[in-house]
A and B are shown apart, each in its own frame.
Chain A
Amino acid sequence: MELQSDFLHTAVIYLGVAVIAVPLFKRLGLGAVLGYMVAGIIIGPQGFDIVHEVDPTLNFSELGVVLLMFLIGLELNPAKLWQLRKPIFGLGTAQVALSIAVLMAAGMMMGHGFAVACAAAVALALSSTSTAMQALEERGLSNTTVSQSSFSVLLFQDLAVIPILAFVPLLGMGASAEPTSYEDVLKTFGVFVGFIIGGRYLLRPVFRLIAETKIRELFTAFSLLLVIGSGLLMEAVDISMALGTFLAGVLLAESEYRHELELNIEPFKGLLLGLFFMAVGMSVDLSILFDRPLVILAIVAGFMLLKGIVIYHLGTMAGLTRSDRVLFALLLAQGGEFAFVVVALIQSLGIVDVTFASELVLIASLSMFITPFLLLLNEKIIMPRFNISTVQESDIERNEGHVIIAGYGRFGQIAGRVMLSRKIPVTVIDHDPNHIEFLRKYDFKVFYGDATRIDLLESAGADKAKLLILAMDDQTAVQETAAMVKRYFPELPILARARNRMDLNRLKMAGVKASRRETFSSALEIAELALVELGYGAREAHQTVLRFRHYDEKNIAGAAEFMEDEKSMINYAKRTRAQLEEVMSSDQEELSNSDKAW
């Protein structure tokens, strides 16, 4: 029991300090990563020493990095990779290789040995994805050339982490690496093949089975099982867990369950990474900074300057303008979260000693800490000199405005097929696994999930979409989603499916641009056919129905004020019915007058 309360006690401390520090840092524009780290410093041995044992936390939270790799894999469907192949492999390789070379040279000039300088350079060459992407997003620069270039470099770094984690140990081992036997190679190969075949043919039916149970946590459980399981499987054949889960992610990148997987893993990744950053914060040795503040700060400045210069010049290669190059350099000059992973690794391998490892961690942390300030400085002082505002339209192609259709049953499908007939890109969200299976056979892009979840809509690109069509069968869900979307994406126009006359007004109040009753139009068409059958001319029947639609919609709008009062509602309905009859027959009269004669 003691152990349990101890565990809960620690959990409360971690969670509590995170909940306080992270929002505060986000508010200040410094980003969540710094928030976690500072929270870690506060509770760690350096701060109030509330948590003494750092290593177990660090080990456990490295799972967050593994989950991050999985999510990176999920993002990387082959098409996207292909589109960005040049900047990723051109810019990315150049950045990583040149940064390592320059930093290593600097390290060796400072008197470090080859292996140490190399390991340190590798650790610091990688930038902070979270810091850079967050900064871009916050400034509304997500679709600019700088953003594309930065993303490409970061993506390459993410990829580079895999071989780095695999090869860094060689620095320490020297020639002591065991010769690999045929058996091992065969085993590895077998695991890979099994993985690919399983991913292609086994995962989908399993996901479908699980989705059909409609028990959400089962889906979450399976997602985690999949990620951690594939990591362990890879580890069993001497491949790093990170690489294993990354591959699992790539395998599932094309799957229609991708969004849902992402959503399920995301919070775990977020929390565990947060824990990871906290653990890093706890292990930051502030005493080093206090002992030799000038030296450390000089190293940080020198490191960021060197890396920044490399990146600035790569910006020329990417065809960036001068002001963009400055931004590009500032965005990526810092050390990143992977520095902590690499440092932890090289320390555990004995390549560097504890003191130097702490120095590296401190340098990386400080550089991340400084980045938001540098960006602020850039905006306020450097940018104005270029006479350019930071928020500018870029020439590169924007993400194409697509239409999101939530609910792809018999209603949504019709709207969707019209869109597709005009080659309008459509993203579909539906929560019926049978539906998805069926539509997939016809090559539709359909994603499994619950459209009432704002995070799912977000990952379906609600911020970049041109239009949202709420076509779900469940009217309550339609109305709730409409209100929620209006709150989070006020710019996104919504069209909605309604069930009855009352819904039309409710949806209007929720901010829906226009809505239609699901059976209204087809019922009117039947009425038109009926009139023709009864001997009315086709035109007269058509006009009658059009007039009816006009007056009916007008009446509904008029009923909005009576929505809450049933009695006056009924009165209003009776009154308008009488009015409608009158109006329709007087219209008839008018029509016959004008049609008189020849």
Chain B
Amino acid sequence: MTKKIALIYAHPAPNKSKVNKYLLQAVQYAEHVVVRDLYELYPNMFINVDAEQQLLVESDVIIFQFPIYWFSSPAILKEWMDRVLSGGFAYGATNQLAGKELMLCVTTGGTEDSYQEGGRHGAPLDVYLQPFKQTGLFCKMKLLPDFIVQGVGDMSAGEVAIAGQQYQKIIHELGKGRGQS
């Protein structure tokens, strides 16, 4: 049976995106993927909690795809988490997310080198992703390996295309229920 994927996409300026836009284009037409472009859906940040929760219930895999802004996600993803992952739905006695899979797809402007102890960005990227991962664990979800693209500023068109193909492949495999664990 095909796994269903909910792709929660948070990009404040999609038109100016260098990589995220292409990553999204690479996967958004897959039949088993439903994309939620949060900034497009909720420009005034008022999130339709019922619709979002309904989608999560129907999905097997949840992907948070976003560019790093100030060592975290863009604001709307946090708002989405605050409102959608409510008690009695995402945790507690009636947790409806338990056993589902969570994957982070993250891009950074800075290079991997700069995301190191003593580097310009102070710590490895994984440190900054901990809140998202802990959220998943708290909701009793299984964590999938991250899909990370760093140093976006210096990437050539070819490199971007390759990243898109890799992402596409992972999403395709996930759908078959054979994720690259």
Are B13 and A598 in touch, CB under 8 angstroms? no
Whether A238 sits at the interface, judged by CB under 8 Å, is no
Q: Among B15, B20, B44, which residue has its beta carbon within 8 angstroms of that of A598? A: B20
Whether A541 sits at the interface, judged by CB under 8 Å, is yes
A529 to chain B, nearest CB (A): 11
B138 to chain A, nearest CB (A): 28
B124 to chain A, nearest CB (A): 17
Question: Looking at A538, A595, A597, which has the most chain B CB atoms within 10 Å of its CB?
Answer: A597
Are B152 and A539 in touch, CB under 8 angstroms? no
Least CB separation from B13: chain A residue: A595
Q: Among A539, A543, A595, which residue has its beta carbon within 8 angstroms of that of B40? A: A539
A537 to chain B, nearest CB (A): 6
Are A542 and B107 in touch, CB under 8 angstroms? no
Are B16 and A596 in touch, CB under 8 angstroms? yes
Which residues on the A side are within 8 Å of B108 (C-beta)?
Answer: 598
Are B18 and A542 in touch, CB under 8 angstroms? no
B68 to chain A, nearest CB (A): 7
In the docked arrangement, what's the CA distance between A597 and B68, Å? 11
In the docked arrangement, what's the CA distance between A543 and B149, Å? 28
Question: Looking at A528, A543, A596, A598, which has the most chain B CB atoms within 10 Å of its CB?
Answer: A598
Are A538 and B107 in touch, CB under 8 angstroms? no
Which residues on the B side are within 8 Å of A543 (C-beta)?
Answer: 43
Are B41 and A538 in touch, CB under 8 angstroms? yes
Q: Write the A521-545 contact mask toward B (1 if CB under 8 angstroms, else 0).
A: 0000000100000000111111100
Q: Among A537, A539, A541, A598, which residue has its beta carbon within 8 angstroms of that of B109? A: A598
Which residues on the B side are within 8 Å of A598 (C-beta)?
Answer: 17-20, 67-68, 107-109, 149, 152-153
Whether A591 sits at the interface, judged by CB under 8 Å, is yes
Whether B39 sits at the interface, judged by CB under 8 Å, is yes
User: Interface extent on A, as a size class?
Assistant: 10 to 19
B48 to chain A, nearest CB (A): 14
Are A595 and B153 in touch, CB under 8 angstroms? no
Question: Looking at B12, B17, B20, B68, which has the most chain A CB atoms within 10 Å of its CB?
Answer: B12
Least CB separation from B14: chain A residue: A537
Which residues on the A side are within 8 Å of B40 (C-beta)?
Answer: 537-539
Interface size on B, residues (CB 8 A): 22
In the docked arrangement, what's the CA distance between A121 and B45, Å? 73
Whether A5 sits at the interface, judged by CB under 8 Å, is no
Whether A399 sits at the interface, judged by CB under 8 Å, is no
In the docked arrangement, what's the CA distance between A597 and B109, Å? 7
Are B68 and A537 in touch, CB under 8 angstroms? no
Are A539 and B12 in touch, CB under 8 angstroms? yes
Q: Write the B101-123 contact mask toward A (1 if CB under 8 angstroms, else 0).
A: 00000011100000000000000
Are A595 and B12 in touch, CB under 8 angstroms? yes
Q: Among B13, B17, B18, which residue has its beta carbon within 8 angstroms of that of A591? A: B13
Are B15 and A537 in touch, CB under 8 angstroms? yes
In the docked arrangement, what's the CA distance between A528 and B13, Å? 16
In the docked arrangement, what's the CA distance between A542 and B46, Å? 12
In the docked arrangement, what's the CA distance between A586 and B62, Å? 38
Least CB separation from B16: chain A residue: A595
Q: Among A528, A541, A592, A597, which residue has its beta carbon within 8 angstroms of that of B18? A: A597
Least CB separation from B110: chain A residue: A598
Q: Write the A416-455 contact mask toward B (1 if CB under 8 angstroms, else 0).
A: 0000000000000000000000000000000000000000
Which residues on the A side are within 8 Å of B19 (C-beta)?
Answer: 598
Q: Among A528, A538, A596, which residue has its beta carbon within 8 angstroms of that of B39? A: A538
Least CB separation from A595: chain B residue: B13
Q: Write the B129-153 contact mask toward A (1 if CB under 8 angstroms, else 0).
A: 0000000000000000000010011
In the docked arrangement, what's the CA distance between A592 and B12, Å? 10
Least CB separation from A592: chain B residue: B16
In the docked arrangement, what's the CA distance between A537 and B14, Å? 8
A481 to chain B, nearest CB (A): 33
- Please report A residues at the B interface, Cβ cutoff 8 Å: 528, 537-543, 591-592, 595-598
Q: List 9 A-B contacts (CB under 8 A).
A: A538-B43, A540-B13, A597-B18, A597-B152, A598-B17, A598-B18, A598-B68, A598-B107, A598-B108
Report the 4 A-B pairs with minimum CB-CB distance, sorted nearest first: A595-B13, A542-B43, A598-B152, A538-B43
